[in-house]
Structure 1
Amino acid sequence: MLHSSEGTTYSDRGEQAILQGDSEIAEAWFDQAAEYWKQAIALSPGNYIEAHNWLKITRRFE
Protein backbone atom coordinates (compact mmCIF):
# COMPACT_ATOMS: atom_id res chain seq x y z
CA MET A 1 0.00 0.00 0.00
CA LEU A 2 1.25 3.47 -0.87
CA HIS A 3 1.54 6.11 1.84
CA SER A 4 1.97 9.73 0.78
CA SER A 5 4.54 10.25 3.52
CA GLU A 6 6.93 7.90 1.69
CA GLY A 7 7.20 10.13 -1.37
CA THR A 8 7.74 13.13 0.86
CA THR A 9 10.38 11.26 2.86
CA TYR A 10 12.33 10.38 -0.29
CA SER A 11 12.17 13.98 -1.46
CA ASP A 12 13.23 15.29 1.96
CA ARG A 13 16.22 12.92 1.96
CA GLY A 14 17.18 14.28 -1.44
CA GLU A 15 17.05 17.82 -0.08
CA GLN A 16 19.21 16.78 2.87
CA ALA A 17 21.76 15.23 0.53
CA ILE A 18 21.92 18.49 -1.45
CA LEU A 19 22.57 20.40 1.76
CA GLN A 20 25.38 17.95 2.52
CA GLY A 21 26.84 18.54 -0.92
CA ASP A 22 26.10 15.08 -2.32
CA SER A 23 24.23 15.68 -5.56
CA GLU A 24 24.60 12.06 -6.73
CA ILE A 25 22.84 10.71 -3.64
CA ALA A 26 20.27 13.52 -3.90
CA GLU A 27 19.39 12.48 -7.45
CA ALA A 28 18.97 8.89 -6.33
CA TRP A 29 16.54 9.96 -3.60
CA PHE A 30 14.66 12.23 -6.01
CA ASP A 31 14.40 9.36 -8.49
CA GLN A 32 12.93 7.19 -5.72
CA ALA A 33 10.43 9.94 -4.90
CA ALA A 34 9.50 10.25 -8.57
CA GLU A 35 8.83 6.53 -8.93
CA TYR A 36 6.69 6.56 -5.82
CA TRP A 37 4.68 9.60 -6.94
CA LYS A 38 4.13 8.18 -10.43
CA GLN A 39 2.60 5.05 -8.88
CA ALA A 40 0.46 7.09 -6.49
CA ILE A 41 -0.80 9.35 -9.28
CA ALA A 42 -1.59 6.34 -11.48
CA LEU A 43 -3.70 4.84 -8.70
CA SER A 44 -5.46 8.09 -7.86
CA PRO A 45 -5.13 10.58 -10.73
CA GLY A 46 -7.16 13.36 -9.08
CA ASN A 47 -4.97 13.49 -6.00
CA TYR A 48 -1.35 14.46 -5.42
CA ILE A 49 -1.49 17.76 -7.33
CA GLU A 50 1.69 19.05 -5.66
CA ALA A 51 3.53 15.82 -6.47
CA HIS A 52 2.35 16.05 -10.07
CA ASN A 53 3.69 19.60 -10.28
CA TRP A 54 6.99 18.51 -8.70
CA LEU A 55 7.36 15.78 -11.31
CA LYS A 56 6.79 18.33 -14.08
CA ILE A 57 9.19 20.89 -12.61
CA THR A 58 11.94 18.32 -12.11
CA ARG A 59 11.28 16.83 -15.55
CA ARG A 60 10.61 13.40 -14.09
CA PHE A 61 7.05 13.11 -15.38
CA GLU A 62 6.58 10.86 -18.37
Structure 2
Amino acid sequence: MAVICHYAILEGDSEIAEAWFNQAAEYWKQAIALTPDNYIEARNWLKITKRFELE
Protein backbone atom coordinates (compact mmCIF):
# COMPACT_ATOMS: atom_id res chain seq x y z
CA MET A 1 0.00 0.00 0.00
CA ALA A 2 2.79 2.39 0.85
CA VAL A 3 4.38 1.98 -2.58
CA ILE A 4 1.07 2.73 -4.32
CA CYS A 5 0.61 5.84 -2.16
CA HIS A 6 4.18 6.94 -2.86
CA TYR A 7 3.81 6.68 -6.63
CA ALA A 8 0.39 8.36 -6.57
CA ILE A 9 1.94 11.29 -4.72
CA LEU A 10 4.85 11.43 -7.17
CA GLU A 11 2.39 11.50 -10.06
CA GLY A 12 0.46 14.30 -8.39
CA ASP A 13 -2.66 12.20 -7.83
CA SER A 14 -3.42 13.22 -4.26
CA GLU A 15 -6.99 11.88 -4.46
CA ILE A 16 -5.79 8.32 -5.11
CA ALA A 17 -3.06 8.66 -2.48
CA GLU A 18 -5.57 9.88 0.11
CA ALA A 19 -7.91 6.97 -0.67
CA TRP A 20 -5.07 4.48 -0.12
CA PHE A 21 -3.99 6.21 3.10
CA ASN A 22 -7.59 5.98 4.33
CA GLN A 23 -7.66 2.26 3.51
CA ALA A 24 -4.38 1.77 5.36
CA ALA A 25 -5.90 3.56 8.35
CA GLU A 26 -8.81 1.10 8.37
CA TYR A 27 -6.40 -1.86 8.37
CA TRP A 28 -4.39 -0.32 11.21
CA LYS A 29 -7.56 0.27 13.24
CA GLN A 30 -8.45 -3.41 12.88
CA ALA A 31 -4.95 -4.50 13.91
CA ILE A 32 -4.98 -2.17 16.92
CA ALA A 33 -8.40 -3.47 17.97
CA LEU A 34 -6.98 -7.01 18.02
CA THR A 35 -3.86 -6.08 20.01
CA PRO A 36 -4.36 -2.67 21.64
CA ASP A 37 -0.94 -2.58 23.31
CA ASN A 38 0.95 -2.98 20.03
CA TYR A 39 1.55 -0.79 16.98
CA ILE A 40 2.57 2.38 18.82
CA GLU A 41 3.83 4.02 15.61
CA ALA A 42 0.60 3.24 13.78
CA ARG A 43 -1.48 4.66 16.64
CA ASN A 44 0.63 7.80 16.54
CA TRP A 45 0.21 8.13 12.74
CA LEU A 46 -3.56 7.70 13.04
CA LYS A 47 -3.68 10.35 15.75
CA ILE A 48 -1.45 12.84 13.89
CA THR A 49 -3.42 12.47 10.65
CA LYS A 50 -6.73 12.71 12.54
CA ARG A 51 -7.87 9.37 11.16
CA PHE A 52 -8.50 7.85 14.57
CA GLU A 53 -9.61 9.32 17.86
CA LEU A 54 -7.70 7.57 20.61
CA GLU A 55 -9.40 7.11 23.92
Query: TM (normalized to structure 1)?
Result: 0.76
Higher Cα Rg: structure 1 or 2?
2
Number of equivalences: 53
Q: CA RMSD in A?
A: 1.2
List runs of 5+ in structure 2 lacking aligned partners. Answer: none
Structure number with greater CO (CA < 8 Å, separation at least 6) is: 1
Determine what percentage of the aligned residue pairs are the same residue: 75
List runs of 5+ in structure 1 lacking aligned partners. Answer: 1-9
Pick from 14, 22, 26: which aligns with 1:23? Answer: 14
How big is each residue's C-alpha offset from its partner over 1:6-62, in whole Å with a ceiling of 9 and x where there is no partner? xxxx23422221111100000110010000000000000111111111101111013
**Structure-1 residue corresponding to 2:42:** 51
The runs of at least 4 aligned residues of structure 1 exceeding 3 Å deviation read none
Query: TM (normalized to structure 2)?
Result: 0.84
**Aligned equivalents of 2:29, 2:3: Cα separation in 1:** 17
